[in-house]
Structure formats: structure tokens, C-alpha cells
Amino acid sequence: MKNNQWMSLLGLANRARKITSGEELTVKEIRSGNAKLILLSEDASQNTAKKIMDKSNSYNVPVKMVPDREMLGQSIGKEARVVVAVLDNGFAKKLLTLLD
């Protein structure tokens, strides 16, 4: 049940234009201070995971792992996505509680 809840909420955040996806855009949002939460798929490449984790840690942005890239992409209505940045505090807080 919780699985569907976080996916639905992420879809809602996407429709509200409060997320960005993709490695480079996510890193850009982390650097600019806009990213409130990072969702990273467990099947991300080691290089991508390290880059996102290092950048998130240095800017104190929480990172949550999600099962796979297909699920992450499906929740925002796109093809497979490895990383998504949530840009809104409200969505980020709710997603954190749903993913814990």
C-alpha cells in the first residue's frame, strides 16, 4: 500500500512542476539549493550513485532509495528514471515519511 502512496505523491509533485529528473539537472538543483529530497533508484550505476550521494551529502540534502528505475519513471509518467529531485518542502517531508 505504501508503495502506491509515494508513487502517487511523486506523480502529483510532477504535475505541480515541483520535481526534476536526470543526473545533470538533479546535480544543478542540489548546487543551487532548490533540491529538498533526492530519490535514487537502487539499480543506478555506481558512478551515478556516488556522484549524487557525494553532492547530496556536501549540501545536506536527504537521499532516499527506491526499488528500481522503472518504478521511479512510471511514478512521474516517463520512461525509466535513475534519479529525481523534489523541489518543494511539503512534498519532500511527506515523501520522507512514506519512504521510511
> Contacts by 73-81 with C-beta closer than 8 Å and gap 24+?
73/21, 74/7, 75/6, 75/7, 75/8, 75/10, 75/11, 75/14, 76/10, 76/11, 76/14, 76/19, 76/21, 77/11, 77/14, 78/21, 81/21, 81/22, 81/41
Judge whether residue 82 has pLDDT over 70: yes
pTM of the prediction? 0.92
User: What mean pLDDT comes out for the span 87-92?
Assistant: 94
Q: Is the pLDDT of residue 2 over 80?
A: no
